[in-house]
Structure 1
Amino acid sequence: MAFINDNKRFSQWAISICLLVLVLITLDFLGDYRDGVPWPHLFVEAIILMLSLLGLVYFGRLYYQFTQTKINLLTQDLALATQQSQEWREANRELIAGLAVQIQKQFDNWQLTPAEAEVGMLMLKGLSHSEIGQLRNVSERTIRDQARAIYRKAGVTGRTELSAFFLEDLLLPR
């Protein structure tokens, strides 16, 4: 990835320089043409103009290729992560279902309302208050109030302690 980023950055600089040369030579060419400068001089400037245009096209294509390569690598990484996630879920389907049942039982022990239990489950899944509010079609303030009620009933100080309550025993000790 570093190779691609370095070459992409180089291409960006090369494009900028070619573009600058293209603009300056074009302005010089037009000024010289108006002033009646001899054709051999204009011919040399026209060649420089074409070379800068070719450089612009070449480095533009190179930049595009590096960008596409990076996009392809990221797409492959995402596909692999998605596949691994799906395989993990499949292999642990029964455990996940059992954990969900146990979490719900604990929510019942804490006497959470159905709305609080839903908010609690969504918080454990990692959604923000804003995202939960959008999903449930309520304001973010309502979700914050429900989260505070969950924390109070559970005897925890926040989302981290709530998550740790359920996950702490699942993780192996060091």
Structure 2
Amino acid sequence: MQAAELFEQEIKPPEVARRLRVSLKSAYQWHQLWRDGGHEALASRGPSGSRCRLSPRCLEKLAAYLDEGPAAHGWVEDQVWTAARVATLIGRKFHVSYSVSGATRLMHRLGFSPQVPARRVAERDERAVTVWKEVTWAEVKEPGRPAGATSASRTKQGSRGSRPGDEPGAGAGTPRS
């Protein structure tokens, strides 16, 4: 509605674009809409895109299913909800097809994040993890190379005599065989 107010004050679209920090194209489109239909033509029509194919009741059920965890729905190998699993779950429970990206957006809408465990595994042994980090990892980890020992490139620099000329760029115009 700010754009409509500015247009009423006879402010040109480039200045409206600058003030509202939008593209020039958007400002000109808004100006055309405003000339044709006034304030109402610039009113928001809500979010764009397709509407959710699950009812509010189904969304509540889906959130409850997600809270139960993947193992409760057949994925016993780990406790991670991936977007692909959620899309499959939606298909199984609600007979509605969702793409992986659509399932991701739906999960975010419900407050879930795909591929990130909500909590640690119940069987995790913190003492064993600490021992592994301090003992086993220290044995397995290779020592790093000294800072000045290598160059950034693994290629071997050619000798000056093998270059096609003595100055930089010499021979650049000659075809290579």
- TM norm structure 2: 0.25
Larger RCO: 1 or 2 (CA < 8 Å, sep 6+): 1
Q: Which has the higher helix share?
A: 1
